[in-house]
């Protein structure tokens, strides 16, 4: 129903932001790591998922479609509701979740807060085939660091050392010209992520 909302960040709270669009303030719940990247009074586009319950309507927001796709996958799993899915996305790198599912690594999945052994097994059982078919820009760090452009690999490592998560840094670098020097690549990637 709501693909995205584009508007001005009016306030940023602990678990949500208020986004003003068309003179309406939308309360949008987001992962804390994404909330921390937003700036008050800035114009942003937030991809959304509206969850309708008997007694409430809640909007969950994401900075990109790929993260929303992972949220959708997680909420398909028996026993994982939207709040737990947001908790998983908040506490865990997407590449870690996807790699653990593909490798059928129950032990790693149980390290995620809120995920027990049975839920981890269900994640693998219900999502492995879907993750394999996912059409999102996902490659583990090892694959990118072995690609044909060593400068991009160095830029990725630099961005990760600056505190950016691997998944977002990699996506940003995919939109940066391969011919640039490392320092320029890093600057361009930082612009994309801000």
Residue 63 per-residue DSSP state: S
Domain 65-133 has CATH 1.10.150.20: yes
Task: For residue range 49-83, list pLDDT tens digits in order.
Answer: 999 999 999 999 999 888 898 999 999 998 899 99
- pTM for the predicted model, two decimal places: 0.66
Domain 4-62 superfamily per CATH: Nucleic acid-binding proteins (2.40.50.140)
Instruction: Give the N- to C-terminal CA distance of the chain in Å, as an integer.
Output: 27
Note whether 18 and 11 are within 8 A (CB).
yes
Distance CA 156, CA 151 (A): 9
Q: Where are the domains of the chain?
A: 4-62, 65-133, 141-193
Q: If phi over 0 gives left and psi between -120 and 50 gives alpha, with beta otherwise, what is residue 167?
A: alpha
- Find the mean pLDDT for residues 166-179: 80
Residue with the larger pLDDT of the pair 166 and 59: 59
> What pLDDT does residue 139 have?
46
């Amino acid at each position: 129903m709501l693909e995205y909302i584009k508007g001005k960040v009016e306030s940023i709270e602990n678990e949500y932001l208020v986004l003003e669009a068309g003179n309406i303030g939308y309360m949008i719940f987001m992962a804390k790591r994404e909330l921390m990247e937003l700036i008050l009074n800035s114009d942003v586009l937030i991809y959304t998922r509206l969850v309708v319950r008997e007694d409430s309507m809640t909007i969950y927001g994401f900075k990109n479609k790929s993260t929303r796709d992972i949220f959708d996958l997680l909420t398909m799993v028996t026993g994982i509701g939207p709040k737990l899915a947001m908790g998983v996305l908040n506490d865990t790198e997407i590449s870690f979740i996807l790699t653990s599912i593909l490798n059928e690594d129950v032990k790693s999945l149980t390290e995620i807060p809120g995920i027990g052994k049975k839920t981890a097994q269900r994640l693998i059982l219900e999502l492995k085939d879907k993750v394999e078919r996912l059409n999102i820009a996902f490659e583990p760090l090892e694959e990118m660091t072995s690609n044909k452009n060593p400068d991009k690999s160095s830029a990725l490592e630099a961005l990760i050392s600056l505190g950016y998560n691997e998944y977002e840094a990699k996506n940003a670098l995919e939109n940066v010209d391969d011919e640039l020097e490392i320092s320029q690549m890093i600057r361009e990637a930082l612009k994309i992520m801000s």
